[in-house]
């Protein structure tokens, strides 16, 4: 019996590890011990987000270079309501307030030598019926956001600061913006270049003009953004010039080593690119290739989730599964070993995008 129980434990552990390798679940941590004196309490939290596929993209794996979606655990918002009310000490006859979550997105870009990311949180608070909503936006990034400290504590910090900012606004007539403004982003792009700070901005079509020049860097699908002959310290999730879209390579390589933008060959439900990258030695993709040098690969980003994936046989099978006609027309075998098939992969992605648009 003991032997059977041991086998069962090993099986469940393997199943859990497999699931967690495809996504990351986040829950509460209750690490904040500070309190805020308020004239209100949170009656309820309403999820008003347009983008609900996930809470962002985080890193997994020993090298922290595998991109995975961040998923809230069951009861996440009920627990959040309890947390937020535990941070406040309301006065007698405090006003009940509804907190409306408008936007929440977390991004990590961590490799061996890099630790950076950001959280963007936007909430609107409303009291009595007919009372005007008060919107608060919080952005954590740079030194405030050390991705090595875990997801939940940083997310908790964003909600706590949001509550603090709303309380400060109730106590003053002057409303102060909580979103740091980048002066570079406010400049008009002389070369007609637009940029998106993160996936959610691209998904919503919220691009802004930037200055600089976008030029080819060696390989035909790689481009470099420069200002005054130098690379800007800040990178963007994506840039657009004359209708062409380019994705920062660090968004899908994971290591942050790709200091260039990759030209998107197909746009629609799925973005498709081709690049030469060094695959993670521990990844299933590297095992399929069987070598450690740079490998020519296809990269797909699902515009419904923001998740980047390396193109292999399994992924193409998944993408074509809803379309029997494509399954009959195209057959792929060992794509990673024989990248000449990427031309046909591009044709399939283009056809799927057309079919998705027609539906």
* pLDDT tens profile 195-207: 998 899 999 999 9
Contact, 121 vs 164, CB < 8 A?
Answer: no
For the chain, state the CA radius of gyration: 23
Spell out the domain ranges in the chain.
20-170, 182-264, 275-359
Q: Mean per-residue pLDDT for 115-133?
A: 81
Please check the confidence at residue 249 and state whether its pLDDT lies above 80: yes
Predicted local distance difference test score (pLDDT) of residue 64? 65
Residues 6+ apart with CB under 8 A from 287: none
pLDDT band at 145 (very low <50, low <70, confident <90, very high): low
Please check the confidence at residue 54 and state whether its pLDDT lies above 50: yes
Q: Tokens 């699931």 — which residue?
A: 19
Q: Mean per-residue pLDDT for 315-338?
A: 95
Predicted local distance difference test score (pLDDT) of residue 66? 75
| Exposure of 254 in the CB half-sphere (CA atoms within 13 A) | 24
Inter-CA distances, 177 with 213, 316, 333, Å: 31, 45, 54
pLDDT band at 100 (very low <50, low <70, confident <90, very high): very high
Please check the confidence at residue 191 and state whether its pLDDT lies above 70: no
Q: How far is residue 239's CA from residue 213's CA, in Å, rounded to a whole number?
A: 11
Structure tokens at 261: 């933008």
pLDDT band at 295 (very low <50, low <70, confident <90, very high): confident
Please check the confidence at residue 52 and state whether its pLDDT lies above 90: yes
**Number of CB atoms found within 10 A of residue 141's CB:** 14
Please check the confidence at residue 188 and state whether its pLDDT lies above 90: no
Predicted local distance difference test score (pLDDT) of residue 110? 56
Q: Mean per-residue pLDDT for 318-323?
A: 96
Predicted local distance difference test score (pLDDT) of residue 142? 65
């Amino acid at each position: 019996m003991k032997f059977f129980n041991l086998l069962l434990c090993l099986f469940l552990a393997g199943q859990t590890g497999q699931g967690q390798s495809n996504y990351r679940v986040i829950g509460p941590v209750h690490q904040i011990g500070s309190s805020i004196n308020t004239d209100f309490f949170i009656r309820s939290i309403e999820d008003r987000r347009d983008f609900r596929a996930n809470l962002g993209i985080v890193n997994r794996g020993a090298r922290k270079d595998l991109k995975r979606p961040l998923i809230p655990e069951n009861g996440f918002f009920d627990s959040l309501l309890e947390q937020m009310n535990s941070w406040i000490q309301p006065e007698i006859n405090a006003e009940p307030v509804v907190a409306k979550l408008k936007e929440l997105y977390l991004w990590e870009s961590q490799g061996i030598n890099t630790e950076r990311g950001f959280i963007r949180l936007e909430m609107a608070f409303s009291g009595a019926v007919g009372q005007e909503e008060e919107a608060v936006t919080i952005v954590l990034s740079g030194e405030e956001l050390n991705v090595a400290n875990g997801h939940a504590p940083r997310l908790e910090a964003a909600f706590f600061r949001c509550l603090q900012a709303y309380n400060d606004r109730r106590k003053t007539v002057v409303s102060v913006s909580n979103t740091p403004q980048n002066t570079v982003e406010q400049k008009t792009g002389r070369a007609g270049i637009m940029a998106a700070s993160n996936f959610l901005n691209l998904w919503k079509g919220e691009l802004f003009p930037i200055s600089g020049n976008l030029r080819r860097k060696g390989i035909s699908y790689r481009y470099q953004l420069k200002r005054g002959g130098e690379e800007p310290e800040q990178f963007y999730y994506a840039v657009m010039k004359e209708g062409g879209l380019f994705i920062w390579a660090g968004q899908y390589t994971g290591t942050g080593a790709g200091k260039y933008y990759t030209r998107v060959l197909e746009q629609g439900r799925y973005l498709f690119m081709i690049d030469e990258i060094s695959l993670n030695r521990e990844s299933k993709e590297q095992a399929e290739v069987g070598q450690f040098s740079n490998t020519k690969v296809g990269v797909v980003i699902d515009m419904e989730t923001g998740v980047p994936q390396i193109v292999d046989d399994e992924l193409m099978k998944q993408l074509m599964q809803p379309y029997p006609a494509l399954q009959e027309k195209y057959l792929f075998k060992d794509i990673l070993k024989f990248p000449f098939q990427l031309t046909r992969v591009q044709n399939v992605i283009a056809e799927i995008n057309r079919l998705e648009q027609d539906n």
